[in-house]
Amino acid sequence: MHEDLIEYIKNKLENNEKCILIGSIGSGKTYAINEACKQGEIQKIVIDAGNKKSIKSIQQILQTSDYSRLVKTCIIFDGFDSFLEENVSVSAIFEMLSLYSCGVVFEINNRFSSKIERIINLNIYHIINIHSFKSSINELMGICNAIIKDSKLNISDAKLNQIINEHYPNLRKIFINLRDDVTNNYICKCGDVYDIFYSILNTDSIKLKIQMTNYDIFMIPAMMHENSILFASSAKQFHIADSFSRGDLIHTKMYKSQQWTLVDIYASISVAYPSYFMKCPSSKDKIKYGLYMSKISNIAAKKNTIKRLTDELDQSTLQHLYVILHAYKAKEKTLSKKHSSALKRLFDINTKSE
């Protein structure tokens, strides 16, 4: 990653400024922000906007947590593209955050660069195009060598050169291919999320399942819901639903309290365990992105509070609703009025009841 870019972001966040970081998938947006925060000793508060139900729910998080008075802190929005893609009005969020005393940064795909420029106040928000700070081969070599050393990976200089030359400038694919313990044994070499998901289903090693989930901790758990219906028998749906419901509680706690040490537990409960009940498809082409299910999967994140889950929805109710939801998605013919009402209330899904 270009050192000038990291320094530029760091300076902006240290001055509590508001930024829009624009770049393509794999361009290193998340890495640049993490490095800037690390070098500036800036505390990170990450909000996974892609798992929220509405702009209003994000506003409630910000108001409830009262981040507005924080200093030496950066609020990072990941997955905000989903609102832009669906043409949801987002101006209220930008107006609200413009009054905050802490730094703010949105990760935005370059497909939406024109749209975001029309929405934001350019006097307040600084647009940073990551492609204007293209890393040199030598800089990437230094970053990769540091990762290899810290992770104690067995990769020769010749192999590293090959990886960088093959995938440059896509940092995501380069970083994935450094993980020789995964890529040497499984087909993850292109850094494609479908390859990784296929490999998760194709191995019995829980360690490898967790490692591969961590390559894209946002997308892979979301893909599990849709694909578990395709590749697991109906008899196993309760076990899968049980695991998803517990994973949602962990997911909410992880973001609510910013306890990133829980990420391996989340990967284990939400991906590794349910994957044991799923058959590996004949090819990765049969794997679905799971957009429909990903939007309705994280009840805990959407409702924005652990209290609602523990008070209004007890664990058995949550498990049961997941089974009902899977049954509906699997095109079961009828649902009871009670179940139909629950799906409408929790997931905003209109169904036909008996």
Residues 151 and 75 in one domain: no
Of 77, 99, 133, the last residue of a domain is: 133
More confident residue, 268 or 235: 268
Residue 183 lies in a domain: no
**Residue 190 pLDDT grade (very low, low, confident, very high; cuts 50, 70, 90):** very low
Count of helix runs (H) and strand runs (E) in the chain: 21, 5
Query: What pLDDT, on the 0 to 100 scale, is given for residue 6?
Result: 87
Q: How far apart are CA 31 and CA 38, in angstroms?
A: 10
Residue 109 lies in a domain: yes
Query: Hey, what amino acid is at 333?
Result: K
Residues 53 and 158 in one domain: no
Query: What pLDDT, on the 0 to 100 scale, is given for residue 186?
Result: 44
**pLDDT tens figures, 93-150:** 888 888 888 889 998 888 888 888 888 888 889 888 887 776 677 777 777 787 777 7
What ranges in 120-272 are assigned the alpha helix state H? 137-151, 157-167, 171-178, 180-183, 193-201, 206-214, 219-231, 237-256, 263-267
More confident residue, 19 or 242: 19
**Residue 310 pLDDT grade (very low, low, confident, very high; cuts 50, 70, 90):** very low
Q: What is the mean pLDDT of residues 317-323?
A: 55
Residues 174 and 254 in one domain: no
Domain tally, the chain: 3
**Residue 164 pLDDT grade (very low, low, confident, very high; cuts 50, 70, 90):** confident
How big is the CA angle at 133 (ends 155 and 144), to the nearest 5 degrees?
10
Structural domain that includes position 174:
137-178
Q: How far apart are CA 136 and CA 309, in angstroms?
A: 48
Coil, strand, or helix at residue 118? Answer: helix
Range of weakest confidence among 10-14, 103-107, 293-297, 344-348: 293-297
Residues 340 and 282 in one domain: yes
Residues 119 and 40 in one domain: yes
What ranges in 15-54 are assigned the alpha helix state H? 29-40
pTM exceeds 0.75: no
Residues 52 and 174 in one domain: no
Dihedral sign for Cα atoms in the order 190, 134, 48, 52: negative
Residue 273 lies in a domain: yes
Residue 188 lies in a domain: no
Residue 187 lies in a domain: no
Q: Other C-beta atoms within 10 Å of 226: how many? A: 20
- Token digits for 168? 């440059």
Query: What pLDDT, on the 0 to 100 scale, is given for residue 67?
Result: 62
Residue 45 lies in a domain: yes
Of 76, 110, 133, the last residue of a domain is: 133
What mean pLDDT, rounded, does the chain reach? 73
More confident residue, 202 or 214: 202
Residue 75 contacts residue 43 (beta carbons within 8 Å) = no
Residues 25 and 8 in one domain: yes
pLDDT above 90 coverage of the chain, percent: 2
Residue 354 lies in a domain: no
Residue 341 contacts residue 290 (beta carbons within 8 Å) = no
Contacts of 132 (CB under 8 A, 6+ apart): none
Residues 20 and 157 in one domain: no
Coil, strand, or helix at residue 167? Answer: helix
CATH number, position 33: 3.40.50.12060
Residues 247 and 319 in one domain: yes
Residues 72 and 168 in one domain: no
Instruction: Reply yes or no on whether the pLDDT at 330 is more than 70.
Output: no
Query: What pLDDT, on the 0 to 100 scale, is given for residue 172?
Result: 66
**pLDDT tens figures, 53-109:** 567 777 777 776 666 556 678 888 887 887 787 777 888 888 888 888 888 999 888
**Residue 236 pLDDT grade (very low, low, confident, very high; cuts 50, 70, 90):** confident
Residue 192 lies in a domain: no
Q: What is the mean pLDDT of residues 289-294?
A: 49
Query: Angle, nearest 10°, between helix axes 219-231 and 315-329?
Result: 60
Residues 171 and 280 in one domain: no
Q: What is the mean pLDDT of residues 269-276?
A: 88
Q: How far apart are CA 252 and CA 27, in angstroms?
A: 28
Residues 46 and 26 in one domain: yes
Range of weakest confidence among 129-138, 153-162, 335-344: 335-344
Instruction: Reply yes or no on whether the pLDDT at 311 is more than 80.
Output: no
